Amino acid sequence: MPTMSPSPSARSGALALVACLAAACSSPAGGGTGVTASTPPPAPPTPALTQAEAKAVVAAYMRGADQVRARLDPVMAASVFTGSSLGMETTKYRIFKANRIRIGKVRYTQALGASPKFSGHPRWFFAALTDTGTRPVTRDIILFEQQAPGGPWRAAYTTLATKPVRGPLGPGIDVADEPDVVPLQDATLALPPAQVPAALVQVLNQGVRSPRARVFAVPSWVASASAGMRRDRADFRRSGWNLAAAYRPSTLPVYAVRTTSGGALVWSAVESHRAYRNTGRGGAFDWRHPNWGDMLRPTIGRSSVRRGLTTVERYEVLAYVPPKGKGRIRLLANRWAPVRIQGR
């Protein structure tokens, strides 16, 4: 069957406490070099927003997300989410509404964050929010983006971690209040940020014996997802179905920010693409998720398929990429959801 979520998914929120978000400072003095007297110097980079503005953005996000998730309204979702998160939330609402599943509220009791420096737009910042309303306690590490001056701040990535849920994001991982954005082709890192999704896809497709596996500290959910794909191919073949399955890098943007160690935090996404085709010997099959319920009836209008099924499932991933020669890439947080289900 299609793979299942590596982490809890049915969650929503009301802001309880947001503190310790990144502070902003005055703009650094600027001056151009290599420009004529008539050419104004480029604007010096400044933090994406101030501490007070960051608190306001998070508070507005939680109010908006609470309203949207209470109604399971995919149209309203576009006012709160964008990019990867919008696609994932939209599909989830459709399935949850049909299956009469309610999304519970969260209780945030601690927040950490940072406001990278930009000279223009789009610009973004992140907040790591500890939720004590779940068991076990979890942490939402949310990347907020603003596309244009005066535009709305919306959640572009909403990765989830189960440990650690307080303090630093991981051992030896810290970010300044106002860090630099990392170039996506930065060759000083164990892997340039732009290459992280493709490298992770190689591990998911080829397993822990992939040459790329040596670059990662491979977590259990990656090993399980990789083994599950191969197991599913064999199981469906015995049941009279052909399964063409592969992981691919998402075409969504990659975001990277500098850590105090000289490494980077990198947000990206990978996707599982699956096509099931009845060879003529197979019977109908369904797809039921332990937390989401019937995945097919809300999306294709019936609870089983007899001829074929096509699915795309997305994994948002937050990775810590160390400087070259300073260790392996660690996957700190992730989130799963289907983004496309089509049957016949």
Residue boundaries of the structural domains of the chain: 46-343
| pLDDT at 71 > cutoff 50 | yes
Q: Are strands 329-343 and 216-217 parallel, antiparallel or unpaired?
A: parallel
**Residue 93 has what pLDDT?**
96
**Residue 20 has what pLDDT?**
40
| pLDDT at 320 > cutoff 50 | yes
> Structure pTM?
0.86
Rounded CA-CA distance 13/133 in Å is 9
Cα-to-chain-centroid distance, residue 217: 18
SS3 201: helix
Least confident segment among 14-18, 168-172, 211-215, 268-272: 14-18
Share of the chain above pLDDT 90, in %: 78
| pLDDT at 31 > cutoff 80 | no
Q: pLDDT digits over 229-275, tens only?
A: 999 999 999 999 999 999 999 999 999 999 999 999 999 999 999 99
**Residue 111 has what pLDDT?**
87
Residues 6+ apart with CB under 8 A from 150: none
Which pLDDT band holds residue 38 (cuts at 50, 70, 90)?
low
Rounded CA-CA distance 13/220 in Å is 28
Residue 95 vs residues 29, 54, 138, 292, 301: alpha-carbon distances, Å? 52, 32, 23, 7, 11
